[in-house]
Amino acid sequence: MKSQNEDLNSIIKSYIKGNKKLTEGLATKRLHEIWNKEMSSTITDYASIVNFRHGKIYIKVESAPLKQELFTLREKIKSLLNSKLSDNLIKEIIII
């Protein structure tokens, strides 16, 4: 029984990995969860992920000083999110 479950799990993972839209959709959901968990409430009150497509994550920021701060921390944020995703899906962070 365990072998069948492992085979099914492997098939599902292969299917998801081969389907770019599904991979990005699942990653987007996961990114929102990670963002809300890992970022401080100050950041989540004024900044949110609005889109993730083709390796680019778009973060909308409501505060100019916070926008500047996040702009300078883009690489650190990218590394944190990629490590929590256990994959290197995020190639670029765009602050809007």
- Domain regions of the chain by residue span: 2-95
Q: Structure pTM? A: 0.77
Nearest to 55 by CA among 18, 28, 19: 28
Q: Which CATH number applies to 2-95?
A: 3.30.300
**Predicted confidence band of residue 87 (pLDDT cuts 50, 70, 90):** confident
Torsion sign (Cα): 7, 8, 14, 15: positive
Torsion sign (Cα): 72, 41, 87, 25: negative
pLDDT of residue 2: 62
**Predicted confidence band of residue 72 (pLDDT cuts 50, 70, 90):** very high
How many Å apart are CA 76 and CA 71, to the nearest integer? 10
How many Å apart are CA 17 and CA 48, to the nearest integer? 26
Determine the average pLDDT of the residues in 48-75.
95
